[in-house]
Amino acid sequence: EAQVTQNPRYLITVTGKKLTVTCSQNMNHEYMSWYRQDPGLGLRQIYYSMNVEVTDKGDVPEGYKVSRKEKRNFPLILESPSPNQTSLYFCASSSVGVGTEAFFGQGTRLTVV
């Protein structure tokens, strides 16, 4: 089954404690991205990757890092989480090309206290 898998689904952490949210896709997609979803703001892109070892900032990259060492994996790293990073995070993947369908993971609800 084609899918994007994120882990964990829920996470509560304390300010400043480094964490990683994993994302893996099994569709051999080149393009992967991370979004955060906040009430009234919709989804905003954090980082994206066009292929292995190629990553770039989205609209709200501050406080986040990513890596793309393998085509299937695209982890999101919060080196020093802060309460304003409390949000619902989604990983997505798609084939490269304008208008291709993006496939989303089920989301990770992160709370930073």
Partner 1 sequence: AQSVTQPDIHITVSEGASLELRCNYSYGATPYLFWYVQSPGQGLQLLLKYFSGDTLVQGIKGFEAEFKRSQSSFNLRKPSVHWSDAAEYFCAVGAGGNKLVFGAGTILRVKS
Residues that bind partner 1 (CB under 8 A): 4, 31, 33, 35, 40-45, 48, 50, 58, 90, 92, 94, 96-102, 104-107
Q: Which is nearer to partner 1, 84 or 106 (CB)?
A: 106
Rounded least distance, CB 82 to partner 1, Å: 23
In this structure, how many other beta carbons lie within 10 angstroms of the beta carbon of residue 45? Answer: 15
Q: Which is nearer to partner 1, 69 or 99 (CB)?
A: 99
Instruction: Using the minimum distance from each CB to partner 1, give the nearer residue, 38 or 79.
Output: 38
Shortest Cβ distance from residue 18 to partner 1 (Å)? 25
CB 98 to partner 1: min, Å: 6
Cβ atoms of 48 and 32 within 8 Å: the answer is yes
Distance (Å, whole) CA 70 – CA 53: 8
Nearer to partner 1, 85 or 103 (CB): 103
> At 83, phi and psi to the nearest 5?
-55, -30
Residue 41 structure tokens: 């703001």
Distance, in Å, from the CA atom of 75 to the CA atom of 66, rounded to the nearest integer, reads 6
Cis peptide before 8 (omega within 30 of 0): yes
- Shortest distance in whole angstroms from residue 111 CB to partner 1: 16
